Structure 1
Amino acid sequence: MKNLIFTLIIFVAAVGCTEQASRHEPQGEKVLLISFDGFRYDYLDKTETPNFDELVETGVISEGLIPIFPSKTFPNHYAIATGLYPENNGFVGNNMYDPEMDSRFAIRNREAVENPDWYQGEPIWNTVEKAGKNAGTMFWVGSEAPIQDMRPTFWKKYDESMGDSARIDSVVKWMTLNNEKEIDLATLYFHFVDTQGHRFGPDSPELVEAVERADDLVGYLMNRLDESELIETTNLMIVSDHGMSSVSRDRIVVLDDIINPEELDMIAYSPVIMANVSEGGKLDEIYQSLKENEEHYKVYLKDEIPDRYHLKDHPRIPELTIVADPGYTINTREVFETRPEYPSGGAHGFDNQEKEMHALFLAVGPDIKNGYKMKAFENVHLYELMTHLLSIEPAQNDGSIDSVSVMLN
């Protein structure tokens, strides 16, 4: 009798596992990943957004998408693409120095941006291509470099002047070629929400106009997907890389009041200063001065960086990291005196646990629940989610499908 009961328990458990697996068996054929840079988690509450609202009603929205630290554009877009934290994919900031390469990276340095040596890990478009499927990237961090000596089937060099609707039209065309180059994964990127957030701040009328422009684009996108008969086969994810905080001249930290800035070799700038000590400078003395005057910022030696930042175990992390408190700007007296309007508007890069740094996540499609709101989650899990939806084997990553499977049918 005991053996019979045990056998029945095993059978029921096996059936349950089978049902669970089949329940999450992807039905969609394609994934479309869209980023509105700098779109904070709560921006949909700032104005009427009928097109976003329709997706919320028929899909899944989270309480926020938690960025990796630093909450900057390049590190977060590449974390989404690879499912890796900065110390594992090498992207530790918008500006970096690699001592092994003896070279600096800056996001506006085209030679650096297109150099694959800066990019570690495997981006989703490479995973797709390795699985025998096709990918098309309309502007995504890393997609302009031949990482692992590979390119997606279609890719575009970043061109900020390219029209919004033209970007959508190009991607829809790639998704409907009806030949061997038709793509299974597509990415889209739009910068204008972040631009207005920086210039005018997250509570400005100009930011509201940018949110409304994004809503109009979502309406246009859904019409194009419907016309092209992609609605029933495409899982759509709308994300952002980070949020935005208001900054002002009233909340500044002047480095010269604490140390001699000339003793620092600055690599990254406010709100997260990354620096090495210049030749002749004394690390211990500089650190102690910063630590003793630690107000409106936190200072860390490399081995003191909090584990939750997933940042310290990489050679691109310099000797000192100084993190400004939310809304504060830390810089030299010279910068403040020569730029009387600085800082103003908005900024990001702050601690990724701060709610104002959290971004938008919204998904809809044949494998996504209807009208479901989920808890905030880290963006590194999106890589696993995309590989699951495309039924392909993921590369090594720091994410987990279990962290996001609650959104699946």
Structure 2
Amino acid sequence: MKKSFLHIIVLAFIIPSFSAFSQDSLQLKVEGRKNSKSQQKKPYVILISADGFRYDYAEKYNAIHLKEMAKKGVQASSMTPSFPSVTFPNHYTIVTGLYPSHHGLVNNSFYDVQRNQTYSMGNRDRVRDGSWYGGTPLWVLAEEQQLMSASMFWVGSEADIKKTRPSYYYNFNDKMPVNDRLQAVKEWLNQPEETRPHFITFY
């Protein structure tokens, strides 16, 4: 009897955990969007973030695929991060072209005197509130031109910025395996031309 009771307790704990994971792992899609005919002919851009990947890691650890991409493509000699050089301000700077002092995300967590509120990367309500984000991220610019976009966990992509979200996106879930994230990108690129995203951000 005690053993059966223990099984019930364990199941009661596991099932909600799987439920929470599956809910955060669901793709979110803005219905009714299509690429315009002219945009269907445009090239594809996938912006990939390897957060914390130091400039010399590819050489140091012989990342052969990254080195091959650099050899065949274009490689910057250096990059100056925005200040502070932490995840949220820098990632949002990359997609807006603005300094943190101009786009509003001045740290991963900060207090706003005018709002009398704190923004924090761990507060999902704040992260999904578009009023915290200034500037125009690239996916908003793309969607305004009838070019569909998609985002896998990029900073700001969960929020309604200028009343626009990427056509396809996921709410952040650090439990989602990298292979599952890659599979989602592959599925986006296998969409019909009308609904295939041409600009993808990947974290």
1:151 to 147, 165, 173: 165
How far apart, CA to CA, are the structure 2 residues paired with 1:165 and 1:137? 15
How far apart, CA to CA, are the structure 2 residues paired with 1:61 and 1:161? 31
Please tell me whether the aligned partners of residues 42 and 198 of structure 2 are also in contact (alpha carbons under 8 angstroms). no
Secondary structure of the 2:111 match is strand
Partner AA of 2:177 in structure 1: G
Aligned position for 1:113? 127
Partner AA of 2:133 in structure 1: Y
Alignment deviations for residues 282-323 of structure 1 (CA, whole Å, 9 cap, x no partner): xxxxxxxxxxxxxxxxxxxxxxxxxxxxxxxxxxxxxxxxxx
How far apart, CA to CA, are the structure 2 residues paired with 1:144 and 1:99? 24
Please tell me whether the aligned partners of residues 41 and 63 of structure 1 are also in contact (alpha carbons under 8 angstroms). no
How far apart, CA to CA, are the structure 2 residues paired with 1:154 and 1:119? 19
1:176 deviation in Å? 2.4
**Structure 2 unmatched ranges of 5 or more:** 1-40
Is it true that 1:31 corresponds to 2:45 in the alignment?
yes
Matches within 5 A, 1:201-216: none
1:167 deviation in Å? 0.9
1:45 deviation in Å? 2.4
Secondary structure of the 1:187 match is strand
Runs of 4+ with deviation above 4 angstroms: none
How far apart, CA to CA, are the structure 2 residues paired with 1:169 and 1:115? 28
Aligned position for 2:141? 127
Aligned position for 1:181? 195
How far apart, CA to CA, are the structure 1 residues paired with 2:195 and 2:112? 37
Alignment deviations for residues 73-105 of structure 1 (CA, whole Å, 9 cap, x no partner): 000000001111112101111111112211001
Please tell me whether the aligned partners of residues 82 and 122 of structure 1 are also in contact (alpha carbons under 8 angstroms). yes
Partner AA of 2:101 in structure 1: E
Secondary structure of the 2:49 match is strand
How far apart, CA to CA, are the structure 2 residues paired with 1:70 and 1:36? 18
Secondary structure of the 1:117 match is helix
1:180 deviation in Å? 2.5
Aligned position for 1:397? none
Is it true that 1:52 corresponds to 2:73 in the alignment?
no
Is it true that 1:139 corresponds to 2:153 in the alignment?
yes
Is it true that 1:79 corresponds to 2:93 in the alignment?
yes
Larger Cα-atom Rg: 1
Partner AA of 1:71 in structure 2: S
1:48 deviation in Å? 2.1
Aligned position for 1:92? 106
Secondary structure of the 1:60 match is coil
Partner AA of 2:93 in structure 1: A
1:179 deviation in Å? 4.4
1:117 deviation in Å? 1.4
Matches within 5 A, 1:278-289: none
User: How many residues of Structure 1 are paired with residues of Structure 2 in the alignment?
Assistant: 163
Q: Give the TM-score taking structure 1 as reference length.
A: 0.39
Alignment deviations for residues 46-75 of structure 1 (CA, whole Å, 9 cap, x no partner): 222211121122111122221100001000
**Structure 1 unmatched ranges of 5 or more:** 1-26, 190-409
How far apart, CA to CA, are the structure 1 residues paired with 2:63 and 2:196? 32
Alignment deviations for residues 18-46 of structure 1 (CA, whole Å, 9 cap, x no partner): xxxxxxxxx96110000000111111122
1:110 deviation in Å? 1.0
> Which has the larger strand fraction?
1
Q: Give the TM-score taking structure 2 as reference length.
A: 0.77
Partner AA of 1:42 in structure 2: D
Secondary structure of the 2:118 match is strand
Alignment deviations for residues 198-252 of structure 1 (CA, whole Å, 9 cap, x no partner): xxxxxxxxxxxxxxxxxxxxxxxxxxxxxxxxxxxxxxxxxxxxxxxxxxxxxxx
How far apart, CA to CA, are the structure 2 residues paired with 1:147 and 1:44? 35
Partner AA of 1:58 in structure 2: K
Identity of aligned residues (%): 39
Partner AA of 1:69 in structure 2: F
Partner AA of 1:70 in structure 2: P
